[in-house]
Amino acid sequence: MIITDTHTHLYSEAFDEDRHEMIERAIKENISRFFIPAIDSNYTDSMLQLEKDFPENIFLMMGLHPTHVKENFKQELQHVEEMLGKRPFYAVGEIGIDLYWDKSTLGIQQEAFKYQIELAKKYKLPIVIHCREAFDEIFEVLEEVNHDELFGVFHCFTGSLKQAHQAISYNMKLGIGGVATFKNGKIDKFLNEIDLRHIVLETDSPYLAPVPYRGKRNESLYILKVLDKLSEIYGLTIEEIANITTNNSKEVFGI
C-alpha cells in the first residue's frame, strides 16, 4: 500500500525541531509520496534541501501563494518563472485567491493567478489551487482561461456539492484533508456523491490537523485519519482508498 500526501509544507518552521523524524514516521506507515507546494522565494532553498534529503519521496511545486502576493509580486513571479525554466517541478502551486486575510489585494492576486496559470500551460504542468472565501473569483478566472490543457488539484476543498462539480468540470481533482473529519466541515455530508476518481488526499501540514488532533500541529502521518474517514464515507477498505487516490495523484502529477 502506497499513500500519497499531495499537499504538505514539510519545510515549515513548525518542523524545524523534528523534520526528519516526522517524515520518517510517515514513511514507516506507507506514506511515501509527499508533494510540496511553494509559498514564495524565501522558502525555495528549504524546499530544495528537503528534496536532497529525501530524493525518493519529495516532489516539489513552484509558485507564489496568494497570501504572499504583495507589492513585490512581479519580482516574485519572475523568481517562479526562472525556477521553472531551470529544473523540473511537478506542478505550479500553490496559486489562487485568498480573500480571508486581505480583500484589498484582489486585483494583484487575480493577475498573479492568471500569470501562473499561463506558466503552467507553457510547461504543461498541473496547477494546485488555493481558494479561501473566493470560489466565485476563482471560477471566474478558470472560466476565462479554461482550456483542455488546464488541469490540477483544488487544494483543501471546502465548498458545496455544486462547487465540487464545478471544480471537477475544469479538470481539477479535489484535495481532501482534515476538514473531512471536522463536525462542522460539511464536505463529509456529500463526498460519497463524488466519484473517488476525482479525489486526492492531503494534509496541508502543519495546518488543518484532523480530529482528534484538531488545533495541534498537523503532520503527514495524520493523513491516516483522513483515510479512515474516507473509508467510512465510501464503504471501501483503507487499502482501496489509498490505491485509488495514489493513482489519481499519479494522473495529475505524472509521477
Percent of the chain clearing pLDDT 70 (strictly above): 100
pLDDT in tens, 77-105: 999 999 999 999 999 999 999 999 899 99
3-state SS class at 222: helix
- In this structure, are residues 1 and 242 in contact, taking their beta carbons and an 8 Å threshold? yes
Q: How far apart, in Å, are the Cα atoms of 45 and each of 5, 74, 112? A: 21, 20, 22
pLDDT in tens, 243-253: 999 999 999 99
Neighbours of 20 (CB within 10 A): 12
**Cα Rg, the chain, nearest whole Å:** 17
Residue with cell 495523484: 249
Residue 160 has a pLDDT of: 96
Q: What does the alpha-carbon distance between residue 218 and residue 57 come to, in Å, rounded to a whole number?
A: 19
pLDDT in tens, 223-238: 999 999 999 999 999 9
Q: What does the alpha-carbon distance between residue 12 and residue 18 come to, in Å, rounded to a whole number?
A: 11
Q: What does the alpha-carbon distance between residue 1 and residue 31 come to, in Å, rounded to a whole number?
A: 9
Strand order in the sheet with 31-36: 3-5, 31-36, 58-60
pLDDT in tens, 30-48: 999 999 999 999 999 999 9
User: For residue 12, what pLDDT band results from cuts at 50, 70 and 90?
Assistant: very high
Q: What does the alpha-carbon distance between residue 195 and residue 174 come to, in Å, rounded to a whole number?
A: 11
Q: What does the alpha-carbon distance between residue 17 and residue 3 come to, in Å, rounded to a whole number?
A: 25
Helices 238-253 and 223-234 pack at an angle, to 10 degrees, of: 110
User: For residue 222, what pLDDT band results from cuts at 50, 70 and 90?
Assistant: very high
Please, where are the H alpha helices in the chain? 19-28, 44-53, 73-86, 106-122, 135-145, 161-169, 223-234, 238-253
Quick one: DSSP state of residue 209?
Answer: P
Percent of the chain clearing pLDDT 90 (strictly above): 96
Q: Is the pLDDT of residue 148 over 90?
A: no
Q: Is the pLDDT of residue 122 over 90?
A: yes
Q: What is the chain's length?
A: 255
